[in-house]
Structure 1
Amino acid sequence: MSEVVETGVPGDLARHPRTPASDTPVLEVDDLVVEHRDGGTGAVFRAVDQVSLRIAAGESVAVVGESGSGKTTLAMAATGLGPRGQGDVRLLGHSLSAISRTRLRRLRPEVQVVFQDPHGSLDPRQSVRSGLRELRALQPERTSWIGDADLLGRVRLAADLLDRYPHQLSGGQAQRVCIARALLMRPRLIVADEPTSGLDVSVQADVLALLRQIRTTTGAALLMISHDLAVVRSLCDVVHVMYRGRVVEAGPCDRVFGAPENDYTRELLAAMPGARWRSRR
């Protein structure tokens, strides 16, 4: 299926009707530990080992590392979408270990996840329109602020895609449908887990531009999970580098990319295609 990809995003993305006015951090994580048990041997290992991070409203924070470093486990635990683990996790000021399940269910729409495989995130039996209708039925008060056609327009998709099924969408179109579904819920935090890794380079640029515009126009914070340092550098304010469950370096992207202090960070930067960086040490 062919796809016409335009660079950039619409210039009329209106400010989110629920843009946070408070200075309360969207997400705070202190000394998070998540352990897994091997089903075969019974051995316990730490997937996340005493990790701390903070995300303010409108801020874009990345967690980077190779496969198995614990970055996705961290994101899921930190947002209440996976095992809670040990440590203190506060979402919009609410401690996830202290609130009830009912309260947690009410908070969960504030966090929306855009996964690596967009087709795997969509029900193959539902058209785009049907999927949006289902979300609207579940959260009518949160989703009544915009119509389906206008919503697709905000992610640079034509209204005629509403009646298509996932198999009729290209990878870029499917990923932008997933972003539209997340945007519909008016979240305070969007978690993007390798959202461009399966897309062509030109489509990657369009999706990244869209995420950047959504962040700046809605006030939503962004937690980017990625192994692609070029993506992180183009989109994020702060980066946390994970290795074997631990954060080995963290700070503003300009500082970490320009003057890395950890050997593992240097290795990741050196492995970037066409990498050009110089340590000031």
Structure 2
Amino acid sequence: MPEAVETGVPGGDVAARHLRTPETDTPVLVVDDLVVDHRNRSTGEVFRAVDHVSLRIEAGQSVAVVGESGSGKTTLAMAATGLGTRGEGDIRLLGHSLSSVGRKELRRLRPEVQVVFQDPHGSLDPRQSVRSGLRELRTLQPRRTDWIDDTGLLGRVRLAPELLDRYPHQLSGGQAQRVCIARALLMRPRLIVADEPTSGLDVSVQADVLALLKEIRATTGAALLMISHDLAVVRSVCDVVHVMYRGRVVESGPCETVFATPENEYTRELLAAMPGARWRSRR
């Protein structure tokens, strides 16, 4: 039998118990020498979006990929989780190579990765209330989603139960993003991919959403892959950072080390752009 591990959530409910399976000690995600090419639809020209990138995410770890728009960070995340163009290279999710698993195994693995996108309203079906959307997920994955009821789930993301009967257009940006996080949490994933999850939100709401992601990581044991252009966001949430520029990772390391002693000029430029930054580009 798998061993239940207390994660410190008050009340000791079932959500506070993260089952330790043989996969728990296996890296959640390993990307080895990934290459992804895209074709420009208008010109037909092929360009390299991800250029020989490798990264590793351990169980429960929080890893960031940062860079400006067009750096390849989202393409990397989508390829690495099997949600986008796979490209060339080895991608292993919970020890399973995505290039060799069959359809049945891939269907089993997909719920282990949940994505929280930049635009929460665009992620929700405008024709469904919050309750209806959760009911649909429960119908698709009844065994994964029976650990908590809808009211309890919304409480986990600090939303009032009356929001269950609201539609996406009746939610603020922060509320809609919390609903998206709740939907991800419902599946009890091993990995949550947060793709610019706060970029469209007010500053005060951003802080609340980031605190919620940190809490979920601490209380469930899920790993977090944060995609962002904002180093301040990364610093507050993540253990390790990979800096991408034009499809390549130009610097990697523990967040505090990279922030304190950046080695790459592009990293220094990103840090110099932060409010109150002490680093200034030497160009």
TM-score class, shorter-chain normalisation, is over 0.9
**Paired residue for 1:99?**
101
* Alpha-carbon offset, residue 102 of structure 1: 2.2
- Rounded Cα–Cα distance in structure 1 between residues aligned with 2:228 and 2:188: 23
Check whether the contact 1:127–1:165 (CA below 8 A) recurs between aligned residues: yes
**How has the CA–CA distance of structure 1 residues 79 and 16 changed in structure 2, closer, same or farther, with 3 Å as cutoff?**
farther
Check whether the contact 1:18–1:186 (CA below 8 A) recurs between aligned residues: no
2:248 to 238, 246, 249: 246
**Paired residue for 1:237?**
239
- Rounded Cα–Cα distance in structure 1 between residues aligned with 2:126 and 2:93: 32
1:164 to 163, 166, 170: 166
| Corresponding position: 1:88 with 2:90 | yes
**How has the CA–CA distance of structure 1 residues 20 and 255 changed in structure 2, closer, same or farther, with 3 Å as cutoff?**
farther
SS in 2 for 1:41: coil
* Alpha-carbon offset, residue 169 of structure 1: 0.4
**Paired residue for 1:18?**
19
Task: Kindly provide the amino acid, as one letter, of the partner of residue 130 in structure 2.
Answer: V
Task: Kindly provide the amino acid, as one letter, of the partner of residue 125 in structure 1.
Answer: R
TM-score, normalisation: structure 1? 0.93
* Structure 2, unpaired ranges of 5+: 1-8
**Paired residue for 1:215?**
217
* Structure 1, unpaired ranges of 5+: 1-9
* Alpha-carbon offset, residue 95 of structure 1: 0.2
**Paired residue for 1:133?**
135
Task: Kindly provide the amino acid, as one letter, of the partner of residue 233 in structure 2.
Answer: V
What do residues 50-77 of structure 1 show as CA deviations (whole Å, max 9, x unaligned)?
0000000110000000000000000000
**Paired residue for 1:50?**
52
- Rounded Cα–Cα distance in structure 2 between residues aligned with 1:78 and 1:216: 23
- Rounded Cα–Cα distance in structure 2 between residues aligned with 1:250 and 1:15: 32
* Alpha-carbon offset, residue 40 of structure 1: 2.0
| Structure 1 stretch displaced more, 40-49 or 12-21 | 12-21
* Alpha-carbon offset, residue 19 of structure 1: 5.1
* Alpha-carbon offset, residue 106 of structure 1: 1.4
- Rounded Cα–Cα distance in structure 2 between residues aligned with 1:181 and 1:233: 25
Check whether the contact 2:127–2:167 (CA below 8 A) recurs between aligned residues: yes
| Corresponding position: 1:29 with 2:23 | no
What do residues 15-59 of structure 1 show as CA deviations (whole Å, max 9, x unaligned)?
244355631000000000000011122211110000000000110
* Alpha-carbon offset, residue 101 of structure 1: 2.1
SS in 1 for 2:25: coil
SS in 1 for 2:144: helix
- Rounded Cα–Cα distance in structure 1 between residues aligned with 2:245 and 2:10: 39
RMSD of aligned residue pairs (Cα, Å): 1.5
Identity of aligned residues (%): 83
- Rounded Cα–Cα distance in structure 2 between residues aligned with 1:17 and 1:42: 48
**Paired residue for 1:5?**
none
Task: Kindly provide the amino acid, as one letter, of the partner of residue 271 in structure 2.
Answer: L
| Structure 1 stretch displaced more, 39-48 or 229-238 | 39-48
| Corresponding position: 1:149 with 2:151 | yes
Check whether the contact 2:268–2:280 (CA below 8 A) recurs between aligned residues: no
TM-score, normalisation: structure 2? 0.92
**How has the CA–CA distance of structure 1 residues 20 and 239 changed in structure 2, closer, same or farther, with 3 Å as cutoff?**
farther
**How has the CA–CA distance of structure 1 residues 34 and 150 changed in structure 2, closer, same or farther, with 3 Å as cutoff?**
same
**Paired residue for 1:256?**
258
* Alpha-carbon offset, residue 275 of structure 1: 1.1
Task: Kindly provide the amino acid, as one letter, of the partner of residue 180 in structure 1.
Answer: A
The count of residues paired between Structure 1 and Structure 2 equals 270
Task: Kindly provide the amino acid, as one letter, of the partner of residue 275 in structure 1.
Answer: A
Higher relative contact order (CA 8 A, sep 6+): 1
SS in 2 for 1:130: helix
**Paired residue for 2:121?**
119
SS in 2 for 1:141: coil
Check whether the contact 1:110–1:187 (CA below 8 A) recurs between aligned residues: yes
